[in-house]
Structure 1
Amino acid sequence: MNATPTDFVPAARRDGSAPRDLGSMRGQWAALQDAAAAVAAIAGVEAEKPDEHVRDFPSRIEGAGGWRVELASNGISDISAMMRPGLKALLAVTERGQDPTAAALTLWREYLHARAALLDLLPEYLADESLAQA
């Protein structure tokens, strides 16, 4: 059987690049939280205060190790790729004097769903029954 172990992290990606470093992930995560707060403001909703799972996600995912780190790094990049042009478009709509609220709310909800998928990579997040019920 040729199963990949659950703690497998490739030394290099298919394109030959090395796996992303955690410092870069921390910076991307912080920038993503800032962008999300801006989208929430445009949507007219109050951005929640990040709890410890959200705030410390890069450190916690590093602690989980293995395949989770690479998957989280890719997920953060994917969410950033969605948020960057989305926020730019919302700002452009605002500059034209149009109401961006509906579009911002949609982007905010998409962000929340994508972030929840990333947080589900944390074993302790899944094990915390109070969060599972939220």
Structure 2
Amino acid sequence: PLLAAGEDPAAHQEELARYARSAGVSGQMRDDYLDLFGDAGLIGKPAGSDLRSGRRSYTVCAVLAATSGAERELVESALAGPGCPPETVARIQDIARHHGGCPRAPARRRRGAEEASAVAKGWRGRWRDDAVEFFERLPLWGARRAL
């Protein structure tokens, strides 16, 4: 959008990076949550892909932090290799729900989205209002969306 408006993006590097970082972290947290709890038919991949790939996503780390003993060992073993069956993913989902899911995740997603939105709001008066409004609303929509 800046190039199309005749602006040099390099002159706005710091605020664009702040926006991208806040919006990106918020969006990644949503993706991490959906990876464990999302409906495979809607998200296009089976639940637990991060576990199978050994990724310690935000959601997986939250589950690890909430567990100990045999529950934690189960999560760690799921992270160890691609052989994590759907039954193990379902058990980890149950464990996560038993421990309150990831109770701080929605607030953290929202905070990142609000930070990005506030950065975009500062663009008012400099750039087209409809473009600024889009970038203000986009991270908030992403933080709220069910999928």
Per the TM superposition, whether the score is higher than 0.5 is: no
TM-score by length of structure 2 reads 0.31
